[in-house]
Amino acid sequence: MKSNPRPRKRRFLIFVLVLAAGGATAWFGWYKFFRQVEPTPIASDEEWFKHGSLGSESQFGIPYWIWVVLPRIFPDLMPGTGGYKSFGVVWEPGSELPVGFTKKTVGFPRVGNNCALCHVTTYRLKEEENPVVVLGAPAHSFNVQAMFRFFSQAANDPRFNANTLLSEINQNYDLGLCDRLLYRFAIIPFTRRAFIQQGQQLAWMDRPGKPDWGPGRDDAFNLPKYFLAHLPEDHSVGQCDFASAWNLQVRKGTNLFLNWGGESPSVYTVLVDSSVGVGARPTRDFEPNMKRLDGFLSRLQPPHWPYPNGPYAIKADLAATGKALYQQQCASCHEPGQPQCNHPVPIKEIGTDRERFDSWTPEASRKTNRAINEGMGAHRPDTIKNVGYLASPLDGLWLRAPYLHNGSVPNLRALLQPPEQRPQTFYRGGDLYDPANVGFVSSGPAAERGGFLLDTRQRGNGNQGHTYGTALPAGEKEALLEYLKTL
Ligand code: HEC
Ligand code: HEC
């Protein structure tokens, strides 16, 4: 019997139509969710450092329009007025996003982060003056923990729903019917789930007995320990200051280390691990980005002491006396090129709070090394468990307050006091400068306003140890302090 050719033809036609529809759906899905639009190249290194994408948007990007409206829907969940500014980010006038925030279209416009989030700061010499923005300085006012908490609390709040978010977005921008549907049925629910999940993954930071990080700090080595090495939660606390990231030229050389606990054996390791930390992954742009960061941060110089004249100008004679003291008592550990500089001092010898040091283990090193090198294919010299805290160069020291790895000493004058005379509590987070004590204003109304009370009696916040220079006679301390301002 001859088979009827017509049904076969029809089946073929249906097959082609299904394939075409499938292809169109796949293309639509790719276009709306994954299509990467390369941002306009940013020629200036400074501008690129502040807002350039490292590729974090694919992993951790927040849909731009959701990012825009969240502070308006949840002002009650923010630490203060002013939207994202209340987390202490640097937001320059006329700029669409705060410093450290990036925007890139991956299917839809998303907001990501880069290094500047924690490595750009501001200072003011007078309360009423405009803040001066400094690249590469520790972002001592920025409270990353408060920002993490905000996103997870918002996502767990019943107001985080498509109706509320879309009606707020609609007041700013017409998404169009198609995108509105995508936001309603995909982007908003996905984002909510991602925030909730991130909150659950960060639950360890809110356990009883773990002090708040507060502004200018995070638990730098517990983050990769749990997120990348997937180690079970332990009881460690490792809150520590954001470091300065300028002048990396003096951090390079064989067998020199970085990070507070000397865990990283090369600048390249820090660049790769920090990029992975913000959500960048080794794709096509990764190496060029590492190279650009390396070039920029190696050249970037810290700013000079900001009082060229007047009562706080550096007194050259006094500073010269101080320099001799520094050479005798400090240089062997802190001067680049000297034997102990960029090397850790054994924990017992340095005597500072050991919690941050103990938060990292050989196993955490092994597992994160594997996750980054083998899992992601970013080959960099491995991190290790070292023996104590790092003696780093003191460049730009005046702008690196509060001092020590955990930011437990408000200013340099206090650091030159014996530990029992250093302030037991003080406020941190404000950007008003205190030239007499060499640090930020850390007590009184200006410091209290929006400041974070750091209590050195809490776990991981101890202000003991590092007693170098504390036994000098008062006049010599004054001279040493004068010299330290010049660094
Ligand atoms: C969320 C805040 C945050 C972000 C974002 C961040 N850092 Fe850091 N950075 C830190 C903290 C905290 C430390 C100190 C960590 C430690 O040693 O325990 C640090 C340390 C460093 C150091 C080491 C300095 C030293 O003295 O040893 C360098 C260099 C650095 N970061 C560069 C970068 C670069 C480059 C990026 C972007 C790719 C980046 N950071 C992103 C918080 C951050
Ligand atoms: C034996 C080595 C050694 C000597 C000597 C030494 N330091 Fe340090 N210094 C360290 C180490 C290690 C740290 C990090 C300790 C920590 O953060 O817990 C440090 C930290 C510091 C910091 C804090 C830096 C920051 O960014 O917070 C300052 C300031 C400092 N030292 C100044 C001095 C001065 C001034 C002298 C001389 C009077 C001196 N040091 C002598 C090893 C030394």
Looking at residue 366, what is its pLDDT? 96
Q: How far is the CA of 135 from the centre of ligand 1 (A)?
A: 13
Q: What is the pLDDT of residues 217-276, one digit of tens each?
A: 999 999 999 999 999 999 999 999 999 999 999 999 999 999 999 999 999 999 999 999
Ligand nearest to the CA of 389: 2
Ligand nearest to the CA of 263: 1
- Report the residue among 87, 198, 236, 270 best suited for mutation to probe ligand 1: largest number of ligand atoms under 8 A from its CB: 270
- Report the residue among 50, 141, 256, 274 best suited for mutation to probe ligand 1: largest number of ligand atoms under 8 A from its CB: 274
Looking at residue 3, what is its pLDDT? 54
Ligand nearest to the CA of 344: 2
- Report the residue among 140, 144, 147, 242 best suited for mutation to probe ligand 1: largest number of ligand atoms under 8 A from its CB: 242
- For ligand 2, residues with CB inside 6 Å are 260, 329-330, 332-334, 340, 345, 350, 352, 389-391, 394, 397, 400, 403-405, 415, 466, 468-469, 484
Residue minimizing CA distance to atom 1 of ligand 2: 333
CA angle, 475 then 476 then 477, to 5°: 90
Tokens found for residue 143: 């409270």
| Cα–Cα dist 18/271, whole Å | 47
- For ligand 1, residues with CB inside 6 Å are 113-115, 117-119, 144, 218, 220-221, 240, 242-243, 245, 248, 258-260, 270-271, 274-275, 278, 293, 392
Looking at residue 23, what is its pLDDT? 83
Query: Chain-centre distance of CA 363, in angstroms?
Result: 24
Positions of the chain with pLDDT under 50: 1
Q: How far is the CA of 332 from the centre of ligand 1 (A)?
A: 25
Q: How far is the CA of 392 from the centre of ligand 2 (A)?
A: 8
Q: How far is the CA of 412 from the centre of ligand 1 (A)?
A: 22
Cis, peptide link before residue 402, omega less than 30° from 0: yes
| Cα–Cα dist 112/122, whole Å | 21
| Cα–Cα dist 356/239, whole Å | 6
**Cβ atoms 122, 90 nearer than 8 A:** yes
Q: How far is the CA of 458 from the centre of ligand 2 (A)?
A: 22
Residue minimizing CA distance to atom 19 of ligand 2: 391
The CA dihedral of 83, 86, 91, 95, to the nearest 10 degrees, is 0
Q: How far is the CA of 266 from the centre of ligand 2 (A)?
A: 20
Picking from 386, 394, 267, 243, the residue whose alpha carbon sits closest to that of residue 332 is: 394
Q: How far is the CA of 74 from the centre of ligand 2 (A)?
A: 43
Looking at residue 38, what is its pLDDT? 79
